[in-house]
Structure 1
């Protein structure tokens, strides 16, 4: 696939699929630009987007050059989601405590440095569509093509981030800042929960060993609302092929199962397992499914 095609495809993916999911997952980092009186300069949103473009382009080039060698494993992504969620909560609390400023102060040098750094940090909080674009960059086998795919994706999502930045700046000048802070805290807690879910650090089901002959197949459908059926049953002690069929493009298009990321549609072969439950999640930790072995 040509570089121009990957660039255009990235723009289309950002406009059509990435706008909602990425602004929801990463938009909380914009709270750092409306913290206090120095976040009112509209140019700071531009710096934020510039930092985002730089980090995504560099990541795309590395992915195209080195392939999966630079892809973060699920536990590392889960830890980053937790850290990002905590950061969003901290920004939100500081915004609520500061209140509004009668006279907005001009952006200072530290703010101009912070804006691109926050934008660059969005690469550490991938949305579902971002993971799909990263896999495209890996499969391209070219640093130029990988960079083009990721850069196009950032360009496609830029209008939504610019609009969100404008809304946040306007809200921060009013009494609605407290309401915005509450919403941001909720988003931060949701991000923390997604990270804990992705890392498998929420709950757990004990199991006991069992063996048996034969093989089996179970089918799971990936939709925008989650995995259907959410719980499937398989026999313990025998191999199982989990056939993931993709209904809609979105977060569920990438599944983390048995410690590995898989782009859907795909069939995942699992070795014989003991009695108990195996949990799998989407690449963002938002949606969960279970395979009960009995």
Structure 2
């Protein structure tokens, strides 16, 4: 194993343990709801199959990214559609969990498909990337090596595995209790949040933008923080090339920006061609935070 592969494996593992635990379980953990639909939903092996499916899909995608680079990366619009679909799926799972909790000790339904569903649900988490995942994917792209890209993504999955295992354990424990209703409500909120983030990332609803301040400029600076982009609105000159200097104050979702139809890992300087008068909207890679550039 080369030094680059070991380095990216360690980097992915560290990112999963330190930064990916909270963000990825929040964005992807709702898919674990699908494991409590049947009588085997309490089987701890199902969470293992879920994690195995997640490891396989992430490793395969990491190898592809390292081999082909950005050519295989999903564009923001496609990722937005997947976020909406994932959010709706989580809501369906949550409703089923609430109904099962209400049923109490009712006779269990046949659950043979669960063993097949668990790895598929785990593999599907690659389609619902959290902000840290996008950063690891870009690291895999920049590696230029299938082995190094696979190592970075596999390390990230291993780093987040303890949090997913704990979440799966909690879901198994409450799936047949009255707490299932509470968990279902929380999951519905998470599903709505995920779907809303997808809608925001895709720019499919109009959002109120703050008023522009300051004279138009050819170069503007935006800071990416844990609370979003600051300032949220900047003024730039229309009809001339403009540089947008993104600086990173805190690592998080805002550390990856989707602007002009492409993803950019921060810090970075984005050079935009001459723009017509109007507002250009950009968002973080997960659709949580939005910023605007007012061209005039």
Note whether the superposition's TM-score is higher than 0.5. Answer: yes
Check if 1:129 corresponds to 2:129: no
1:243 & 1:184 partners in 2: Cα distance?
37
1:98 & 1:17 partners in 2: Cα distance?
33
Pick aligned residue for 1:118 from 117, 121, 125: 121
Q: Which runs of 5+ in 1 are unaligned?
A: 206-213
Distance verdict in 2 for CA 1:103–1:42, change over 3 Å = farther
1:274 & 1:33 partners in 2: Cα distance?
50
Report the counterpart of residue 168 of structure 1 in structure 2: 171
1:286 & 1:74 partners in 2: Cα distance?
13
Alpha-carbon deviation of 1:106? 9.8
1:249 & 1:168 partners in 2: Cα distance?
29
Distance verdict in 2 for CA 1:87–1:269, change over 3 Å = same
2:189 & 2:106 partners in 1: Cα distance?
29
Alpha-carbon deviation of 1:70? 0.7
Check if 1:153 corresponds to 2:156: yes
Distance verdict in 2 for CA 1:204–1:105, change over 3 Å = closer
2:131 & 2:114 partners in 1: Cα distance?
29
Contact 1:41 1:106 in 2 (8 A): no
Moved more, 173-182 or 106-115: 106-115
Alpha-carbon deviation of 1:164? 0.7
Pick aligned residue for 1:96 from 93, 98, 101: 98
Counting matched residue pairs gives 286
Pick aligned residue for 1:241 from 243, 248, 254: 243
Secondary structure of the structure 2 residue equivalent to 1:109: coil
Report the counterpart of residue 195 of structure 1 in structure 2: 198
Q: Deviations over 1:45-77 (max 9, x none)?
A: 111000000000011111111111111111110
Alpha-carbon deviation of 1:234? 2.0
1:37 & 1:182 partners in 2: Cα distance?
21
Alpha-carbon deviation of 1:204? 6.8
Alpha-carbon deviation of 1:98? 2.3
Alpha-carbon deviation of 1:21? 0.6
2:157 & 2:291 partners in 1: Cα distance?
30
2:234 & 2:63 partners in 1: Cα distance?
39
Report the counterpart of residue 144 of structure 2 in structure 1: 141
Contact 1:40 1:105 in 2 (8 A): no
2:225 & 2:39 partners in 1: Cα distance?
42
Alpha-carbon deviation of 1:272? 2.2
1:29 & 1:135 partners in 2: Cα distance?
24
Q: TM-score, normalised by structure 2?
A: 0.92
Secondary structure of the structure 1 residue equivalent to 2:258: strand
Contact 2:33 2:90 in 1 (8 A): yes
Alpha-carbon deviation of 1:177? 0.7
Check if 1:253 corresponds to 2:288: no
Contact 2:66 2:141 in 1 (8 A): yes
Contact 1:39 1:107 in 2 (8 A): no
Q: Deviations over 1:107-147 (max 9, x none)?
A: 84311100000000000000011011111111111111111
Q: Deviations over 1:198-240 (max 9, x none)?
A: 11111179xxxxxxxx961110000111111111122333322
Aligned-pair RMSD on alpha carbons? 1.8
Report the counterpart of residue 211 of structure 2 in structure 1: none
Q: TM-score, normalised by structure 1?
A: 0.92
Q: Which runs of 5+ in 2 are unaligned?
A: 209-215
